[in-house]
Amino acid sequence: MKKLYRLLPHLLFLLLVALILLPSNVEVPSYWEFLLAAGAIEVVLILKRHSSAATNIGIIVMAFLDLWEYYTTRVDGVNTMLYPIPQKVFALYITDFQRISMGVVSSLRLLFLSFFLALTLGIVLGMLVGWFENARKALFPIAKVLSPIPPIIYSPYAVALLPSFRSASIFVIFSSIFWSVFMNMILSVSSVDKKIMDSARTLNIKTIGMFAYVLLPNSLPMLFNSLTVSVSTSFMVLTAAEMIGATSGLGWYVKYYSDFADYTRVVAGIIVIGFVVTMLNVLIRLLRNALIKWR
Amino acid sequence: MNKIEVIDISLDYMDNGKRFHALDRLSFSVKEGEFVSLIGSSGCGKSTALGVLSGLNHPSEGKVLIDGHQIKSPGSDRGVVFQHYSLFPWMTARCNVILGINHAREKIPKREAESLAQEYLNKVGLEGFENKYPYQLSGGMQQRVAIARTLAMQPEILLMDEPFGAVDAKNKMVLQDLLLNLLQRDEHVKTIVFVTHDVDEGILLSDRIFFMNNKRIGQEIAVPFSRPRIRNEIFDTDEYRALRRQIMSLFYQNVANQIGGAEVYL
Ligand SMILES: Nc1ncnc2c1ncn2[C@@H]1O[C@H](COP(=O)(O)OP(=O)(O)O)[C@@H](O)[C@H]1O
Ligand SMILES: [Mg+2]
């Protein structure tokens, strides 16, 4: 039973390969891109075969691909404009490579710039405000009011208000990250273990050293937790902003082709967005493991 | 001249708007090179008093003089070891010690700080554990690092707040012997104030014992044993047993007073 369960994602993969290779209702110009993508997922699943989470995810992903492939190529009367055929979607990654990769680059550039600004300001201001009790008591309640306002809400306004789309989207993405970093930083600085603080003070560590050797490292684990959430929300905000005013980027790509009812490209864009977010999360995890070795 | 002079310090804690009187005109003095212990039942204000000496707590009245100068804040003339592991979890044993060294002395070259750290880690028997993080070390080992860090800062005064209170019995003995040994050989630390509620520990280590009672020193007891001290030789003597009985009776008396003078069986 257990063995079969472990084999299931791989059986589903084989089924998918069969569905792709065997003759079907529809003509596709090229199928190897989809085959390759499925193969890449299968390789990851084989590498991670000892993780039961990976097995579960593998089952879901492969089953989804099977259903998608079966529904679009084997069921009669399916509207393949609304339900694009996977082979066609994945073939776009070759034929539309330039536009998609430029979209990725353009989105990531905005994202990294905003992240950099939000992290630096959030960490520095959060530490200062957390450290000085008066500043904390005045600013924390204000931050509590402003932070829950979802930036997506004011992104159209920001696009209208600010001189360029670029500055508007940087502002919106910035605000989606800044508040959580800022507030988490305040909380962690003002709640450092008293034993640690006492110990630091008896070592004669002065204010600057406190920030560098105690407060910053103490807040790193929490900072990374909030970062994982921030990446997802910021990407959401980014794509939403791009849908309003951009001329490139992943959000723009999806929106632009939606207007032409080119849902093959829409689905391709959505998959890329998911992929990019996943890669960003992997990056954050690697960074966390490199920086936080103490537990 | 006395190295440390504690003059009539009183201290009130504010706890949720309520005032709690923790020290009441506490006075004592410690001579240069002396090892004194503060003993008393828990909650009697030992940690509070040590906190005043270290500069972490500020007395509402009275003052503490070191070499005749009033102290206002922590200083590199005093090193502190706490009961609960006070290492920075994000630094290896070595980095913890180096951090202490760098903050105790102005502009010490990196190479020198590193070799000093190594020297003191070796002294507490932690060769081979330099690159471990605190979570990878046992409680006793973490306390060794804390001791190494404090000694490496080469303070004139060592303040220790139940440093072995959270260590198991066997390791406690090992660490007590280690401390005796280190202090005999270390030329930098000269004066020690040690907080404990363990009578044996107090006798073994101290020259004088201050028994705390009613938020101040209730009684002062001299410990006559010569140094170097060897645990088993001391524990076998009649003097030791008499001393121990004397201090234990102070504890009983203390308990009896607290529960209203009724006869107590312990
Ligand atoms: N930060 C504080 N706020 C309020 N009360 C405190 C605080 N710290 C200690 N106390 C109280 O002061 C008394 C003395 O505490 P402490 O010096 O830690 O005792 P000891 O170290 O002898 O066990 C205790 O009754 C304790 O509850
Ligand atoms: Mg205590």
- How do residues A15-64 score in pLDDT, each as one tens digit? 999 999 999 888 888 999 999 999 999 999 999 999 999 999 999 999 99
* B47 CB near ligand 1 (under 6 Å): yes
| Domain co-membership, A113 together with A32 | no
Residue B261 confidence (pLDDT) above 60: no
Is A203 close to B99, i.e. CB distance below 8 A? yes
Residue B263 confidence (pLDDT) above 60: no
**Percentage, residues of chain B above pLDDT 90:** 75
Q: Which domains does chain B have, with CATH numbers?
A: 1-77+157-248 (3.40.50.300), 86-154 (no CATH)
Who among A198, A199, A294 is closest to B135 (CB)? A294
> What tokens does B99 get?
């951090």
> What tokens does A180 get?
């959580």
Q: What is the mean pLDDT of residues A247-261?
A: 92
Q: Higher confidence at residue A240 or residue B161? A: B161
Is A204 close to B133, i.e. CB distance below 8 A? no
| Domain co-membership, A71 together with A146 | no
Per the structure, the complete domain to which residue A155 belongs is given by 97-291
CA atoms within 13 A on the CB side of B76: 15
Selection from A127, A116, A248 nearest residue A184 by Cα: A127
Last residue of one domain, picked from the residues A74, A95, A116 = A95
Predicted TM-score (pTM) of the model is 0.86
| Domain co-membership, A193 together with A89 | no
Give chain A's mean pLDDT: 92
| Domain co-membership, A89 together with A140 | no
For residue B257, what pLDDT is reported?
73
Say which CATH number the domain at A171 has: 1.10.3720.10
| Domain co-membership, A101 together with A78 | no
Residue of A nearest to B132 (CA): A294
Distance B119 CA to ligand 1 centre (A): 36
For residue B260, what pLDDT is reported?
62
Cα distance from N-terminal residue to C-terminal residue, chain A: 37
Last residue of one domain, picked from the residues A95, A126, A145 = A95
Distance B263 CA to ligand 2 centre (A): 28
| Domain co-membership, A89 together with A106 | no
Who among A196, A213, A295 is closest to B135 (CB)? A295
Last residue of one domain, picked from the residues A39, A64, A95 = A95
Distance from CA of B55 to the nearest CA of A (A): 8
Is A214 close to B88, i.e. CB distance below 8 A? yes
| Domain co-membership, A23 together with A162 | no
ipTM, 2 dp? 0.89
Count: domains in chain A:
2
Per residue in B9-41, pLDDT (tens digit) is 999 999 888 999 999 999 999 999 999 999 998
Residue B266 confidence (pLDDT) above 60: no
| Domain co-membership, A76 together with A103 | no
Chain A partners within 8 Å of B82 (Cβ): 195, 198-199
Per residue in A113-160, pLDDT (tens digit) is 999 999 999 999 999 999 999 999 999 999 999 988 888 888 888 888
Residue of B nearest to A214 (CA): B88
| Domain co-membership, A82 together with A110 | no
For residue A232, what pLDDT is reported?
87
Give chain B's mean pLDDT: 91
Per residue in A163-197, pLDDT (tens digit) is 988 888 899 899 989 999 999 999 999 999 999 99
B83 alpha carbon, closest ligand: 2
Who among A198, A201, A294 is closest to B90 (CB)? A294
Chain B partners within 8 Å of A224 (Cβ): none
Who among A199, A209, A292 is closest to B82 (CB)? A199
pLDDT band at B256 (very low <50, low <70, confident <90, very high): confident
Residue B264 confidence (pLDDT) above 50: no
Chain B partners within 8 Å of A209 (Cβ): 103
Phi and psi at residue A25, to the nearest 5°: -65, -30
* B252 CB near ligand 1 (under 6 Å): no
Q: What is the mean pLDDT of residues B219-233?
A: 91
* B17 CB near ligand 1 (under 6 Å): no
* B202 CB near ligand 1 (under 6 Å): no
Of B9, B16, B47, the one to substitute when testing ligand 1's pocket (max ligand atoms within 8 A of C-beta) is B47
Per residue in B106-121, pLDDT (tens digit) is 889 999 999 999 999 9
Single-letter amino acid code for the residue at B218:
G
For residue B129, what pLDDT is reported?
97
Of the given ranges (A7-11, A105-109, B98-102, B106-110), which has the lowest mean pLDDT?
A: B106-110
Q: What is the mean pLDDT of residues B118-127?
A: 94
Long-range contacts from A230-234, C-beta under 8 angstroms, 24+ separation: A230/A115, A230/A176, A230/A177, A230/A180, A230/A181, A231/A277, A231/A280, A231/A281, A231/A284, A232/A277, A233/A176, A233/A177, A234/A111, A234/A114, A234/A115, A234/A173, A234/A176, A234/A177
Of B48, B159, B258, the one to substitute when testing ligand 1's pocket (max ligand atoms within 8 A of C-beta) is B48
| Domain co-membership, A193 together with A229 | yes
What is the number of residues in chain B?
266
| Domain co-membership, A37 together with A124 | no
For residue B189, what pLDDT is reported?
65
| Domain co-membership, A75 together with A47 | yes
Q: What is the mean pLDDT of residues B196-225?
A: 93
Q: What is the mean pLDDT of residues A285-289?
A: 94
For residue A237, what pLDDT is reported?
87
